[in-house]
A and B are shown apart, each in its own frame.
Chain A
Amino acid sequence: MAVDLDRCTGCEACVTACHAENNIPTVGDTQAARGRALHWMRVERYWEGEFPDVRLKFRPVMCQQCDAAPCEPVCPTYAAHHTDEGLNAQVYNRCIGTRYCANACPYNVRFFNFFNPSWDKPLHLQLNPDVSVREVGVMEKCTFCVQRIKAAEVQAKAEDRSLKDGELKPACAQACPATALVFGDLNDPESEVSRLSRSPRGTKLLDDQGTQPKVTYLQRQSSE
């Protein structure tokens, strides 16, 4: 994934799209006030300077899909693990809720289910049948919409072809009106995401932590 901060407007379409796609529950005001709201995708904002010379910068943050993911080795049950495709996956059935992984992740993108999720009926009819609902005691986080990746792979296989670049998008990238979020195959040097990742504007979040994140942030430019 590449995130072009010069395109991102902070519109947060990605945030709600992620809720809709991934069956992320809302927790309500009391729990939200305790820091228990779940947002696999969030838009961080940073103030710089003082009035009137202030700047406000946005940064969409989701799981960075680290190649050297600190969340993985600390998990006693291998719930947090690396897949063959290089995704950092979370097997909900294995998770016993130690929350070590959440402590280990420097990006604060792992969310714990402090209680069973609930949807006031009939809001539950919206739930996506392709994504399992997580129960109390389980850690969850952005999966790069693995269900969409799988569906596109199956489709391509059925048509006896390989996936086209840009054919498959996680819900956030699908929604993003400014095309700030670009998803694709980093192993293919010709893909759009590879091209963007080589941009001189490219940076990684908390690069010095040695996590080798797979998400590249392209810095916002300035006209001054």
Chain B
Amino acid sequence: MDRREFLKASAITGASATLAGCGHPEHQLIRFIPEEELVPGVATWKPSICPLCPAGCGLLVRVMEGDAEVVRNGQIGLIKMGLAKKLEGNPAHPISQGKLCVRGQAAIQITYHPDRLRHPLKRTGPRGAGAFQEVTWDQAIDELASKVGALAEANNQGALAFWMRPSRGQRRELVAQFLHRFGAPPPFSFELFGEDVLRRANALSFGREQLPTFDLARTRYVISFGADFLGTWNSPVSQNIGYGLMRQGRPGQRAKLVQLEPRMSQTGANADEWLPIRPGTEGVLALGLAHVILNGRMRSADAAGRAGTLVDGWMNGLPDFTLPHVETLTGIAAARVERIARELAESAPAVAIIGGAPLAQTNGLFHALAVNALNALVGSVETPGGVFFTPIPNASSKPDAAGERERRRQSAAPTLDKLAAGILSAERPPIQILLLDEANPVFAAPPAWRVKDALQKIPFIASFGNFLDETSILADLILPDHSFLESWVDDVPEAGTTMAVASVAPPVMKALHQTRAMPDVLLDVARRLPRLNPPLPWQTFEQMLRASFEALPARAAPQTTPGVQPAVDVWSKAQEQGGWWAETPAGTRPPPNVATRDPGRPVSFVAARFDGETNEYPFHFLPYASQAFLDGSLAHLPWLQELPDVVTTAMWSSWAEINPKTAERLQIAQGNVVEIASRHGSLRAPVLLSPGIAPDVIAMPVGQGHEHYTRYATGRGANPISLLAPIVEEETGALAWAATRVRVSRVVGADLQLILFAGALRERPHEHEGR
């Protein structure tokens, strides 16, 4: 059959399926079609949720029949089954609105990854050597249950720990309830690019301990302090949608974007004005702007309410932030600061955004509180064109809300550095059993925290993750999870919409391998523990999800998708369209989700501290979330490895960005290999000359440099985290990942290659220039 005939043939099947009366087969949401109902060549679309970042975009998955090679009971066979073919955004979903980011498009490669763990494994060789043998699910679950049971026998329940990626749905709630009933501490998360500083600031300023949502579509002016909100930060898809609208969505009205950052990010590239601010002084600039606005009587100090009172000197017009002083500290000319302040005050609605590196300084909380006060001053909090906080639906499943308890305990939870130090210093580690769910702190933590050494001391580690990485390779037992497309998934987005959203979706396809869903494995383990008190009330994760969604108010029953029979209840509707969501009635503000604590004395500017003396380590080191891999957790996907990074066009490799003038001074040329060294480590990478970086800054994307992470990422490039100093934000204890200083020297004779898409054989950029 040639291509034309093939097209014709599939066209005919497509047409007859249509005539059979199901309307729009291309875009239908059907819950779980029995496989035999799949028509060869005709696609069905099912909802799911992108698991790659905390944004939680709703997906539609194109499912078609195909032949998959599977192993069942030791036999290889070919079965016809529904296979996911492509991911698109779910048009009905309030976050993704039918769109996805570059990473979400590639998420499908997780399910079909050749190096996925396909069955339970038990360690045979020494820890970390990667030698495992296959065991049955019964053996694996028995072993886990007996180890956990033994802890309870010994009355040592507190020595069970569960480390997972941050999430907010019922999956985490299940883990929390399990741990709570068992008597163990709540689940723990550590992320390199964690957002604790911003959450804390928002709790203090606005009583909302969560990430913000920006109404870009209706704003007229955006000033962003280091936030790569169009690339990798917060809720990129919804922010890109809003950006398109703020530029060209309203005839004759185009909002302005000002970006402040020492290295031009993808977002910075889109700015109308890009200002390389001195690292660690972002809040000074925000207060400089507020100073101009206050002293020019463009707004009054009490307009900022509580957020203003948190800043020292606010009510007196911020006398410490005069323009000359701001210029000296930030490196931004006084005249410019003044002009931007006036634009900001005159362009209502305007909004200020802070994210990324400024918060990862030792004085990060100050910057966030300063920007919050600026937003409050210009009247952009919870007003159109400003900053909002997504209402969180009360989807917490009965009978008791471990989540709430957990949240309270979490605020007093130890940080990873303290946990590791506690294990290393104790004769008998305070953690005897560690359960891992995709968390990879060995890769993501600075070497000085010695996380790997600490894990080596834990007597028993079990991992649920899909892949072997730097952390899970230390496991004694591996109970691999289904991929997200093979499981029940749920999520409660923290930001990105003004609607209350709880996403949920049934499995899109059958499991390819002999994996089991982590929540169901946990429930299985729980059933085997006699001492779980009270026992968990659900037999399956599906039951738990159902209970939580049935508890949601039906009044917010979402509008139905055209062509789909209206479903009868909240639960069926939610499954059908990929979640539950409800508009907040106009004019109502969601209530604060934290008690507004007394902040004590107001904050004032204290200069950021950096690790390393300026004369010995002359450069600021800026690791940044890469467009392809974020924090490195996506480096295993080949589409993302071969994605030309949009700012540099680099693929499959690591690189270090240096200002051309600096490079000239150091006699370094593009592609030369350099050694970058901090007080805590060194690495080698090829140099990429970038006009968009300050002369005293060296930047590197995070993501490569994995020791163990599938055939595509292992041994590729260098990990910038390995240079980071164990220095923290002083108020929150969060890692200050932008506070390390480095030195750079050329290495002759090293053969590390810079792989660029542009400038290689194909592209001749000069031909397009100037058109």
Contacts and interface: CB of A to CB of B under 8 A. Distances in A.
Interface of A: 4, 6-7, 9-13, 15-17, 19-21, 26-29, 32-37, 39, 42-47, 49-52, 54-59, 91-93, 106, 108, 120-130, 132, 147, 150-151, 154-155, 157-159, 171, 174-180, 203, 205-207, 221-224
Contacts of A17: 88, 100, 105
A44 B15 contact: no
Interface stretch (B427-435, B617-625, B754-762): B754-762
Contacts of B114: 120-123
Given A16-B105, A45-B649, A178-B240, 14 more contacts: A10-B230, A12-B643, A16-B106, A20-B106, A20-B108, A29-B652, A37-B651, A51-B692, A123-B638, A126-B86, A129-B85, A151-B11, A174-B88, A206-B771
B302 interface: no
Contacts of B769: 46
Contacts of B54: none
7 contacts: A9-B240, A19-B106, A26-B641, A29-B641, A158-B18, A178-B243, A205-B771
A175 B91 CA distance: 11
B316 interface: no
A51 B276 contact: yes
A79 to B, nearest CB: 12
Nearest to A18: B105
Interface in B442-462: none
A11 B242 CA distance: 14
Contact of A44 (B41, B109, B641, B763): B763
A46 B647 CA distance: 9
B26 A155 contact: yes
Interface in B214-259: 230-231, 236-237, 240-241, 243-244, 247-248, 254, 256-257
Interface stretch (B64-72, B384-392, B531-539, B672-680): B64-72
Interface of B: 2-3, 6-7, 10-11, 14-15, 18-19, 24, 26, 41, 64, 66, 68-69, 83-89, 98-106, 108-109, 112-114, 230-231, 236-237, 240-241, 243-244, 247-248, 254, 256-257, 264, 266-270, 272-276, 512, 627, 638-644, 646-647, 649, 651-653, 659-661, 691-695, 711, 716, 753, 755, 757-758, 760-765, 767-769, 771
B99 A176 contact: yes
Contacts of A42: 644, 757
B273 A16 contact: no
Nearest to A106: B767
Contact of B112 (A34, A123, A174): A123
A13 B101 contact: yes
Q: Which among B7, B642, B765 has the greatest number of chain A C-beta atoms within 10 A? A: B642
Contacts of A159: 18
A93 B269 CA distance: 42
A159 B274 CA distance: 51
B659 A32 contact: no
A39 B641 contact: no
A37 B692 contact: no
B245 to A, nearest CB: 8
A37 B642 contact: yes
A60 B758 CA distance: 13
Contacts of A52: 274-276, 694
B353 to A, nearest CB: 15
A20 B512 contact: no
Contacts of B66: 125, 129
Contact of B639 (A9, A19, A151): A19
Contacts of A174: 88, 98
Top-5 shortest CB links A-B: A35-B761, A178-B244, A177-B240, A56-B269, A16-B105
A121 B273 contact: no
Contacts of B653: 29
Contacts of A6: 247-248, 254
A33 B256 contact: no
Contact of B109 (A93, A121, A126): A126
Contact of A108 (B230, B243, B274, B764): B764
Nearest to B247: A6
Contacts of A56: 264, 268-269, 647, 692
A29 B112 CA distance: 21
A66 B164 CA distance: 51
B106 A32 contact: no
Given A32-B651, A179-B244, A51 B755 contact: no
Contacts of A224: 272-273
Contacts of B272: 222-224
A175 B86 CA distance: 11
B105 A20 contact: yes
A147 B35 CA distance: 25
Q: Which of B275, B643, B716 has most A Cβ within 10 Å? A: B643
A15 B651 CA distance: 13
A21 B106 contact: no
Given A32-B642, A120-B711, A44 B768 contact: yes
Contacts of B100: 13, 17, 175, 177
